[in-house]
Amino acid sequence: MAQKYELKSKEVWDGNTAAAHALRQAQVDVVAAYPITPSTPIVQTYAQFLADGYVDGEFVKVESEHSAMSACVGAAAAGGRVATATSSQGYALMVEVLYQASGMRLPIVMTVVNRALASPLNIHGDHGDLYLGRDAGWIHLIANNPQEAYDMTLCAFKIAEDSRVRLPVTTNQDGFLVSHTAQVVEPLQDEDAYKFIGDYKPLNPLLDTKNPVTHGAQTEEEWHFEHKATQHKALMESKSVIEEVFNEFEKLTGRKYNLVESYKIEDADIALIVMGSAYETAMIAVDRAREEGIKVGLVMPRSFRPFPYNEVAEKLANVKAIAALDRNSPMGAMGALYNEVAGALAANGQNAVMTNYIYGLGGRDTTAEHILEVIKETNKNAEAGKRVTDLQGFINLRGPKLSFN
Amino acid sequence: MKNIGNLKEFACTPDRFQGGHRLCPGCAHSMIVREVVNATDDDLVVSTATGCLEVCTSIYPYTSWDVSWIHIGFENAAAAISGVEAMYNALSRKDRLYNEDRKVKFVAFGGDGGTYDIGFQSLSGATERGHDFLYVCLDNENYANTGGQRSSATPIGAHTSTTPRGRVSYGEKQRKKDLTMIMAAHGCPYVATAVPGTKHWKDLAQKAAKALSTVGPTFINALSPCTTEWKFKPEETVEIADLAVETCAFPLYEIEDGHKLTITYRPKQKIPIEEYLGRQGRFAHLFKPENKWVIEEWQKNVDAYWEYLQRREEAGV
């Protein structure tokens, strides 16, 4: 039996420490992980918990991220609670197995400390890894600060393991900006956190050898489509479970999370849509813009997958112009957030002038001033009633101005 | 450790690997697998790499497996079983095992592609970490599932679809990688070679039983003659396997604790390698005058390796 960890009502934790404590409190049965910057401190902290008797599960120190996720899949299919953490190249190496984990409907929880993808090699934060796993069939939750990293990780277990969902979940936090930035976090006590998540509910466990099951069968044209459609349905319908879990979490902690977060959107003429730590920076920019008389609001999908398209559209029902900010190189297209939001508006018969901004790649700083500039440009579009700024711009990029129209 | 007994007794063991699978007629995989899964009375969790065995035994909504079974991908059968074994240990420590009264053993199967090549890293990692499992390589010396491409287990001179014989080519240029010795070098408590068939069935079953009763990572490299890609008649599989042993192309031995080598079968008189190569279409071109040197090279390699095994056994170090 693992020892209780004495926690104060307020701790000063960075995002990695917060995630590690959430894994500890979930009493994860198997963690299989491989170190990679900037998520390394999660597994180091977890190893120390193990060494000090605060964890009594297994920690499999695999030889690669590919094996990390493979061992997670084996362990989850065996019939217990499983978690891991990674970033960037490690995430990329896992991608094959991410699809297998979700296709096998295994409720693995993974903290992704978002980092740019090489080349050029870069250890700092952007959403290259998150976007890479977009279609992998996982639920992707976004945390903007250490408190949220902790809260989302606790919620992730409950969402993943719900019998209506049974899908793996990532909780994403920006590399360094969240993972290595210490802030005040209000944790739950161990027993309250565990009680919130609940005991693991097995489904067809391999280790129930009296009832042998086959996991990871082959399907061809006769059945593959039905399996993938069923999986998609579970992902789409997980929205209601996510909301249920968020509501339950609010009752316990007073902290309210939503499928779509927003800031001052109710009376806004224009809106920015942004995910991750930049959302908090954008809040400052919104306040400043409002002092200058620009009625701007913010929107963030808390869940990147499933993408809450109707809920996003609803938030944006009354705005005239929208800027979607993507922290990922779109490589030949508009950014994913731009495309998702444009699709959400179209699906709901809404119109707004839309533009796309690429920002923060490889950890490039994005300040409130930068975002204020975006707000002003977006306001021009609103006032003109049509797009008068570039379709796709780049924030804080050096060299000659780059834009696409 | 299960007492294997005689063939009649062993053959009466209830099937854990069912017939009706889609492996080729004459495929050695099913013979090897049946022997391995029946070499213990304990419950099993089996992981299988993508490959012939996997695609022919798990086509939804059917399964050939009457044991707990998992397949994830091509290169991760060992990582998968290491996760299963870790979960077993975790649940055991937490008093949450599903069946307290059952002993469970962990087995992974991979072809030579999934073992020698793409899955070697995960096998090496799982072995080094000391998980308690048996890994069985079904070594048919090529990527048979994708139409017979070369692997690092393909022996010199073999025609494969990526090392075809041709006007200026004698087929595969490299010698077969010595995976068994590489696995022994990991310090595994038990490593062995084996072949399927009537003559050496007990050697295989006993080795599997021994491996399954050994704590820690164990490895069996089982030669699996491939009627489709080696190009011999389906009814000749066992004969070809026996010839591999009698010519010392694939000697039967075991290594304990990473060093103690024992030859488990010694041919009364080593048969020339031509007898083995000549029975397989994949080597037919070697009998042309310009390729004769490859056969000589084969014989030289076989002789040297057999000599090495005997000296190492004698030395007992």
Q: Tell me whether residue A95 is exposed, middle or buried, using C-beta atoms within 10 angstroms of its C-beta: 0 to 12, 13 to 18, 19 or more.
A: middle
Strand-pair partners of A298: A263, A272
User: Looking at beta carbons, which residues of chain B come within 8 Å of A95?
Assistant: none
Neighbours of B171 (CB within 10 A): 22
**Residue type present at position A354:** M
Say whether pLDDT at B315 is over 80: yes
Q: Name the residue among A296, A302, A255 with its Cα closest to residue A276.
A: A302
Neighbours of A332 (CB within 10 A): 5
Task: Report helix, strand or coil for A269.
Answer: coil
Q: Answer yes or no: are the C-beta atoms of B12 and B34 closer than 8 Å.
A: no
Can you point out the beta strands (E) in A87-231?
Answer: 109-114, 139-143, 169-174, 183-185, 214-215
Is B80's CB within 8 Å of A217's CB? no
- Domain boundaries for CATH 3.40.50.970 within chain A: 11-253
H/E segment holding residue A394: strand A392-394
Neighbours of A377 (CB within 10 A): 18
Euclidean distance between CA atoms B284 and B255, whole angstroms = 34
CATH of B7-315, one of 3.30.1490.100, 3.40.50.2300, 3.20.20.120, 3.40.50.970: 3.40.50.970
For chain B, the domains span: 7-315
* φ, ψ for residue A23, nearest 5 deg: -65, -45
Q: Name every residue whose Cβ is closer than 8 Å to that of residue B72 and which is 6 or more positions away in sequence.
A: A70, A73, A74, A97, A100, A104, A216, B47, B80
> Distance, in angstroms, between B64 CA and closest chain A CA?
9
User: Looking at beta carbons, which residues of chain B come within 8 Å of A110?
Assistant: none
- Which letter does DSSP use for residue B59 in this model? B
User: Looking at beta carbons, which residues of chain B come within 8 Å of A209?
Assistant: 43-45, 67-68, 98-99, 102, 104
Euclidean distance between CA atoms A392 and B241, whole angstroms = 65
Query: What pLDDT digit, counting tens, does each position of B77-87 carry?
Result: 999 999 999 99
Is A213's CB within 8 Å of B97's CB? no
CA A316 to chain centre: 21
Query: What pLDDT digit, counting tens, does each position of A130-171 carry?
Result: 999 999 999 999 999 999 999 999 999 999 999 999 999 999
Q: Name the residue among A87, A173, A124 with its Cα closest to residue A363.
A: A124
Neighbours of A53 (CB within 10 A): 11
Average pLDDT of the residues in A38-45: 98
Is A29's CB within 8 Å of B94's CB? yes
Q: Name every residue whose Cβ is closer than 8 Å to that of residue A43 and which is 6 or more positions away in sequence.
A: A31, A33, A34, A35, A59, A85
Query: What pLDDT digit, counting tens, does each position of B219-269 carry?
Result: 999 999 999 999 999 999 999 999 999 999 999 999 999 999 999 999 999
Token couple for A117: 């993808």
Average pLDDT of the residues in A78-106: 98
The confidence score (pLDDT) of residue B305 equals: 98
* φ, ψ for residue A127, nearest 5 deg: -100, 25
The confidence score (pLDDT) of residue A283 equals: 98
The confidence score (pLDDT) of residue B65 equals: 97
User: Looking at beta carbons, which residues of chain A come within 8 Å of B126?
Assistant: 67
Q: Name every residue whose Cβ is closer than 8 Å to that of residue B214 and which is 6 or more positions away in sequence.
A: B189, B190
Q: Name the residue among B135, B109, B138 with its Cα closest to residue B27.
A: B138
Is B86's CB within 8 Å of A75's CB? yes
Say whether pLDDT at B113 is over 90: yes
> Distance, in angstroms, between A190 CA and closest chain B CA?
17
Is A218's CB within 8 Å of B67's CB? no
Tell me the whole-structure pTM to 2 decimals. 0.98
Say whether pLDDT at B13 is over 90: no
Q: Answer yes or no: are the C-beta atoms of A329 and A362 closer than 8 Å.
A: no
Neighbours of A254 (CB within 10 A): 8
| CATH entry 3.40.50.920 includes domain A260-404 | yes
**Residue type present at position A281:** T
Strand-pair partners of B169: B166
The confidence score (pLDDT) of residue B262 equals: 98
Q: Name the residue among A174, A153, A144, A141 with its Cα closest to residue A304.
A: A141
Question: Sign of torsion, CA B241 B245 B249 B252?
Answer: positive
Q: Is A113 left (phi over 0), alpha (psi -120 to 50) or beta?
A: beta
H/E segment holding residue B245: helix B237-246
Say whether pLDDT at A111 is over 80: yes
User: Tokens 């992707």 — which residue?
Assistant: A140
Average pLDDT of the residues in A241-263: 98
Tell me the pLDDT band of B14, cut-offs 50, 70 and 90: confident
Euclidean distance between CA atoms B209 and B194, whole angstroms = 13
Query: What pLDDT digit, counting tens, does each position of B139-169 carry?
Result: 999 999 999 999 999 999 999 999 999 999 9
Tell me the pLDDT band of B29, cut-offs 50, 70 and 90: very high
Tell me the pLDDT band of A206, cut-offs 50, 70 and 90: very high
Euclidean distance between CA atoms B151 and B160, whole angstroms = 9
Radius of gyration of chain A (CA): 21
Q: What share of chain B is helix, strand, coil (3-state, %, to 5)?
A: 40, 15, 45
Is A70's CB within 8 Å of B80's CB? yes
> Distance, in angstroms, between B141 CA and closest chain A CA?
24
What percentage of chain A carries pLDDT values higher than 90?
A: 100
User: Looking at beta carbons, which residues of chain A come within 8 Å of B94?
Assistant: 29, 56-57
Task: Judge if ipTM > 0.85.
Answer: yes
Euclidean distance between CA atoms A282 and A259, whole angstroms = 19
Exposure on the CB side of residue B211, measured as CA atoms within 13 A: 32
**Smallest CA–CA distance from B97 into chain A, residue:** A207
Token couple for B227: 């009627």
Kind of pairing between the strands at A321-326 and A353-358 = parallel
In terms of CATH, what superfamily is A11-253? Thiamin diphosphate (ThDP)-binding fold, Pyr/PP domains (3.40.50.970)
> Distance, in angstroms, between A99 CA and closest chain B CA?
10
Neighbours of B292 (CB within 10 A): 12
Which of A67, A106, A194, A200 would best serve as a mutation to test chain B binding (most B beta carbons within 10 A)? A67
The confidence score (pLDDT) of residue B203 equals: 98
Say whether pLDDT at B21 is over 90: yes
User: Looking at beta carbons, which residues of chain B come within 8 Å of A62?
Assistant: 79, 82, 125, 129
Euclidean distance between CA atoms A330 and A352, whole angstroms = 21
Say whether pLDDT at A10 is over 80: yes
The confidence score (pLDDT) of residue B48 equals: 98
**Residue type present at position B16:** R
Tell me the pLDDT band of B12, cut-offs 50, 70 and 90: confident
**Smallest CA–CA distance from A63 into chain B, residue:** B125
The confidence score (pLDDT) of residue A351 equals: 94
Cis before A119 (ω within 30): yes
Query: What pLDDT digit, counting tens, does each position of B272-305 carry?
Result: 999 999 999 999 999 999 999 999 999 999 999 9
Euclidean distance between CA atoms A317 and A308, whole angstroms = 14
Q: Which strands form A82-86's sheet, in the order they lie side by side? A: A58-61, A30-33, A82-86, A109-114, A169-174, A139-143, A303-305
> Distance, in angstroms, between B61 CA and closest chain A CA?
8
Token couple for A147: 């408190």
Euclidean distance between CA atoms B156 and B170, whole angstroms = 9
The confidence score (pLDDT) of residue B294 equals: 98
Query: What pLDDT digit, counting tens, does each position of A217-245 carry?
Result: 999 999 999 999 999 999 999 999 999 99
* φ, ψ for residue B261, nearest 5 deg: -95, 130
Task: Report helix, strand or coil for B123.
Answer: helix
Cis before A41 (ω within 30): no
Which of B22, B46, B58, B72 would best serve as a mutation to test chain A binding (most A beta carbons within 10 A)? B72
Q: How many residues does chain A have?
A: 405
Neighbours of B222 (CB within 10 A): 27
Euclidean distance between CA atoms A370 and B142, whole angstroms = 58
Tell me the pLDDT band of A1, cut-offs 50, 70 and 90: confident
